[in-house]
Structure 1
Amino acid sequence: MKARIFQKPKNAMQSGRAGTQRWILEFAPAEPRKPDPLMGWAGSGDTRRQIRLGFATREAALAYAERNGIEAEVVPAPTRTLKIQAYADNFR
């Protein structure tokens, strides 16, 4: 089993950062999605793709992966850059 461990980025449409401090373990897809012949929706028989586990720390997520024999890849969180500007800069 392969999985990735990452931090959820901040939603671009909102100013708050709720839920961005948690680390998420998400399984890699085991088989590709294929269209359903009747409805045309994309689906697969891989049920692990529906599972997302949340952890308080990166170390807790790694410990869970090691304990359960999951090959995990840690994706570092992108660095936050602040664009500081004054309201008057909009009219220059």
Structure 2
Amino acid sequence: MLARIYSPSKTAMQSGKAKTGFWILEFDRATARTIDPLMGYTSSADPLAQVKLKFPTREDAVAYAEKHGIAYRVIEPKQPKRRAVSYSDNFKYDRKAPWTH
């Protein structure tokens, strides 16, 4: 049983960094999901597929996995690429993109 340890990124629906800054230990699926023929619901026989543990730091999540003998892999968060953009750059004389209107 392999687990992933990751820090969730912010959603596209928010501009701030709410609901980020913590780490999640989540188990990978041991069996594939199946489709119920009557209702069409998807289900799994793996009870660990529903488990998500939240930790305040990466070290806490790694310590928990090592203490309980859980094989894990750490996925490092990607840092966003920020670039300084100003409104006045749209009107520069030496602009790389030509005007379209």
With structure 1 as the length reference, what TM-score do the two structures score? Answer: 0.89
Deviation, 1:6, is 0.3
Partner of 1:85: 85
Matched residue, 1:34: 34
Residue in 1 aligned with 2:18?
Answer: 18
Find the aligned partners of 2:29 and 2:69 in 1 and give their Cα distance. Answer: 17
Q: Which amino acid is 2:8 matched to? A: K
User: Which residue in the other structure is 2:96 paired with?
Assistant: none
Name the SS for the 2:65 alignment partner.
helix
Q: For 1:90 and 1:26, locate their aligned partners in 2 and report how far apart those are by CA, in whole Å.
A: 45
Deviation at residue 86 of structure 1 after TM alignment: 2.1
Shift of 1:87: 3.5
Moved over 6 A (4+): none
Amino acid in structure 2 at the alignment position of 1:31: T
Q: C-alpha distance in 2, partners of 1:79/1:8?
A: 12
**SS class of match (1:64):** helix
Q: Which is bigger in relative contact order (C-alpha 8 A, separation at least 6)? A: 1
Listed as ranges, the gaps of 5+ residues in structure 1 are none
Max Rg structure? 2
Count of residue pairs the alignment pairs up: 92
Please report the TM-score for the alignment, with normalisation by the length of structure 2: 0.82
Aligned CA-pair RMSD:
1.6
3-state secondary structure, aligned to 1:66? helix
Residues 86 and 40 of structure 1: CA distance in aligned 2, closer, same or farther (over 3 Å): same
CA distance in 2, matches of 1:48, 1:90: 52
Q: Judge which range, 77-86 or 55-64, deviates more.
A: 77-86
SS in 2 for 1:54: strand
Distance 1:90 1:15, change over 3 A: farther
Q: Percent identical across equivalent pairs?
A: 48
